[in-house]
Structure 1
Amino acid sequence: MLDTSSARPEPAAPRPPRRFFGVRRRGLVTALVALPATLVMLGHSLIPDRAGHLGSLTETFLPWTGVVVPLLLVCAAVRRSTTAAAAVLLPALVWGTLYGGTLADKQASGGDLTVVTHNVNEHNPSPVHTARALAAAADASGHGHGGRWNPDPDALRFTFAVMPDTQYLYWGSQDSVNRAPQEESFRYIVRNSGVADQNIVFMSHLGDLSQDADASSFEQIDKAFDILDAKGAAYSVVAGNHDVSGDDTRGDSPYLRTLGPRRFRHAKSFLGADATGYNTAHVFRAAGRAWLVLALDWRTTEQGFAWAEKTIRAHPRMPVILTAHDIVHPDYYDNVFPYESGDPENNASLSAYGQTLWDRLIADNDQISEGVPDSRVKVSAVPGPTTRFQPSSAPYTHIRVVRRPFI
């Protein structure tokens, strides 16, 4: 008789995988979550907005549905389910089609994204009109269009743009403000920075930004200059006699709070400022070399001149462009055409303060190859110990650069 009391029991046969309508249940939950996520992405515009503003909420959070994809992929990997992994590819593909383009590098031309948000009141009778008005406002602010700052730093021909005396656009104390002309000029400068025959490398505002130096005026000026900041444009600003009073030791002012060193702290072209903040230095590249811009106050004092001298000595191989509101004035004051007397083509001479600039800073510094005052004078120069003033009303000047050693 055979003793079977110690015999091992036969191993149980492996349980067959559970199936649901012929599909293996492993990873089924992951697949079932991936399917509605895909449908929401594809049909988000069809979701009604009646009950609890579900449609609007879906539109708001739609980009974040992409977070579901990596979570589902992790679940599929844990469950080791090819079915779940294949199902997750659907929402991944749809989300990539909808939003993948926003992840591309925006350094190349053509990428310009504007996002406008607005909490549309539930009683708004025309949300479409509101959306269009907001889009138009974004366009008008300059953030939506205008290209990008893209000058050629090696081209021998370049443009140093000059903007003088925009004071009558900003008379806030008289409730007279119109930013549009200046903003459009800023957009033109940005758009043409990358155009070969323009190649605008820098913009210098020569002062008298406001008519009244009022804080309300500089609130609007601040918004206009936001256009240049948003595009990363290289620029400088100086104060004029309509923006400030006294000399550069005046202390705080609406001008300084709006256009002082704090505004330029993140600008690549900003080099520094003196202790007062009214005298600043900037560097830009053009014609294959670096150029130094000194933007001096309406009335610079001895400490400001000492700072400027120190800045020049610290950069001995850079040509220097000196900008100020008051350097040269016209001897011929009849600005009405036709001219009745004088010589309208040769009427520039140093002002009293311009003579101070010449004696204190320009005469002994051959690095100062250009001096740019207000709208009535254009400076044409090449690197070297020469400075030549020419009367002109041109809004900007082309600079021809002759390559030769600068000593």
Structure 2
Amino acid sequence: MTKRIALLGCTGSIGQQTLDVISCHPEKFQITSIAASRISDTLKQQVATYKPKRVGIGGQTEEPFEVSGYEPRPDVVYGNEGLVQLALDPEVDIVVVATSGQHGFAPTLAALKAGKQVALANKEVLVMAGELVTEQAHKSGIQLRPIDSEHSAIWQSLSGEGLANEHGEENWSQANDKVRRLILTASGGPFRSFTKEQMANVTVEQAMKHPNWNMGPKITIDSATLFNKGLEVIEAHWLFGLPYDKVDVVVHSQSIIHSMVEFVDGSVKAQLGTPDMRLPIQYALGYPERLANDYPRLDFTKLRELNFELPDTERFPALRLAYEAGRRGGTYPTVLAAADEEAVRLFHERKITYLGIADLVERTLDAHNPVAHPTLEDIAEADRWARHFASNFSSRGSAASIG
């Protein structure tokens, strides 16, 4: 049976790779709806190529959207309400949430309430609203399908361990009794071997050169600071229902092992593959099937070594900050994510230094007055406050003074 897909965030890196996966399996998947934050040539080309029935413009007012080349013309919806409409479409089977930031909250919750399957690539949905989202997923009997390569690797490693629910889908709420720890792997980014003194002079151009992965600008900088790995720790906590002392990180520079699970008997299962985001995307869309493809294969005869080391949280304090924010809970993870996004923007604009990213986030966390069990309104307010604080704090000094 063909699975009908609503793709929210179609023009970003994950969105475009999702469309690539769908193109490889036209007999398995069909694009019903696509959405982007704004009108662009990329969006117009995607609409002309995939001919969706509905198009969402998430971040703009109702600017006319013109596309030629096929009939009937797609329905066009706007704003967060439009994204929710796409998520609730009765003709959609799977909602792929590849938007960024708060734009993913409402459609994710709406899809879960409607009992739809959600494939999640938006980190902020679980980092900021993990309690609300996982509670709704549990009520609806839906298991979120992660698209991050690390969480997909854990999902695949847990498969076959007797955690399936009555519908045959993995039920990770029982994992705590069987799992000793989750081990998220991190590439270490381009500055893995840099001293703190060398990091003080890192440029935007250097930070944008990830050694293994081809990703968007925000996630590439986050990988360089290890903020990305910290956000993934919080995601893993919510996805798999395990406490933070059961979620570890190791630096694995080759990015061949995407993550591991150590079980209570000492056995370790790992998922290996080339650094290609199409693999976890395809697994999330095609589950429980494994679909054939012609993507590059892992050649073990060319692997000379697989290295592992503990992350250095003195040189990379972002990982420490993420664990602290996650353990504190409430609105602290929201502030972590929002302040990091603001800090990365300021770094791109050369207004703070590379080291200033983590420093600015820590100052914002220290100034925060948290809400213990936040509503979506509380999360939105914490997000707004964190961005305002971080931006104003940085503007009070020079770029060199932060970091």
TM-score norm. by structure 1 comes to 0.28
Higher helix share: 2
Q: Work out which of the two has the higher radius of gyration on C-alpha atoms and give 1 or 2.
A: 1
TM-score norm. by structure 2 comes to 0.28
- Higher relative CO (Cα under 8 Å, sequence separation at least 6) belongs to 2
